[in-house]
Structure 1
Amino acid sequence: MSDSRLTPVAFDIETSGFDADAVITVAGFAHGLGESLILNTGGHSKVDRNTLVRALDEESTGTAQLDVVDDEGELLEAVASFVTNQLDGDTHYVTAFNGETWNGGFDLPFCRTRFLQHGLRWPFGDIAYADMIQVVDRFNTQDQTDLVGVYDVL
């Protein structure tokens, strides 16, 4: 009998703020083979990619991949490429902390809006999703609600 469990792929974004004109500055995936990070430099040419790759390799639990792009549109295209080429709805699911819940969440709704604004197709369509906020809220008996505390609980 084959193992029918889905493999989790953690997803997170960072943005320039919460306003309507905010942009996604970083998108990242952590998966069984390592981490994939996409950095939007906003066109700043002084970014030293080699230094960033070395730092990422030092922190990675596996293979670290870094894509450096000049704007949010390129970042979204790189996210879509990763999802299309690396994730399979039959074997993977995406997970995040407060990424999307029935009454809120941030990462996926923000991404959905930005994909629409850039005229790009939503790449996560057939990928299952699990939000870790409910797990942490239910099982966190140490009252640690900051990001570091959440990761310690997980």
Structure 2
Amino acid sequence: MTELDTIAFDIETTGFHMDDQLTVVRFDADIGSRIFLNTDGRAPPPNLEARVNEELATAVSISVQQTERTLLSEMDAFVESTLTHQDVKLVAHNGERWNGGFDLPFLRTRLCYHDIDWPFAELSYIDAMDVFETRFNTSGDTLTAVYEELIGSGLTGLDPFVDSEEAVGAWEEEDFESLVRHNVADIRRTRALMRLAERYCSKSDFSMKSLDPVA
């Protein structure tokens, strides 16, 4: 399991209902972060990527799209060219668990809506939330709380939000820089926690599943 490189994965949305839409899809690896931003036809700051990268040790690449459909198409092309057939595993925090999760179920619904095929065929997946609920003694249950308890507050300066719910308002108000900064911080928390879990937990503590579809 640990021979597979970790690619952290997360999404941002306008809400939790089936007719809400994706605003951000993000991935994070050792070499940097890849952010897909849906502006819904609005223009982001022209120097958005440069401003986000000013204070970061590893690079952030931002792909700005005008619609949810083009965001999903660009994400699909990225996964096919960069992740598929590589020795990697996708990792999320409450992305998909045996009794629920959010990110992958929401993504499936939006892919169905746009009639776009499932992009993660041949990839493996682990949900980090399961490990931290069962193998660590923490008082918090959110991604940020668990990260700060076990690792520290090193990403606090990057994240402009106290609560992830602020991301919806930022997108609506066209504050795309704050939205992207929050997303970079969150996705890096996820990957850092997975690295920590792999240091202290046995392989049998991780539940890995294949994301290959049946058909």
TM-score if structure 2 supplies the norm length? Answer: 0.65
Distance apart, 1:139 and its partner CA:
3.0
Distance apart, 1:49 and its partner CA:
3.7
Structure with the larger strand share: 1
Q: Deviations over 1:100-146 (max 9, x none)?
A: 11110110111111111101111101100000011111233131123
Q: Across the two proteins, how many residue pairs are aligned to each other?
A: 149
Q: Hey, which bits of structure 1, 4+ residues long, moved more than 4 A?
A: none
Q: What is residue 127 of structure 1 aligned with on the other side?
A: 123
Q: What is residue 98 of structure 1 aligned with on the other side?
A: 94
| Corresponding letter in the other structure for 2:100 | G
Distance 1:59 1:117 in 2: 38
Structure with the larger helix share: 2
Structure 2 SS opposite 1:11: strand
Q: What is residue 207 of structure 2 aligned with on the other side?
A: none
Distance 2:45 2:86 in 1: 38
Q: What is residue 12 of structure 1 aligned with on the other side?
A: 10
Distance 1:80 1:13, change over 3 A: same
CA contact (8 A) 1:89 1:128 kept: no
Greater relative contact order (CA < 8 Å, ≥ 6 in sequence): 2
User: What is the aligned-residue identity percentage?
Assistant: 38
CA contact (8 A) 1:49 1:68 kept: no
Gapped runs of 5+ residues in structure 1?
Answer: none
Distance apart, 1:90 and its partner CA:
4.6
Distance apart, 1:63 and its partner CA:
2.2
TM-score if structure 1 supplies the norm length? Answer: 0.89
Is 1:82 the counterpart of 2:78? The answer is yes
| Corresponding letter in the other structure for 2:15 | G
Q: What is residue 162 of structure 2 aligned with on the other side?
A: none
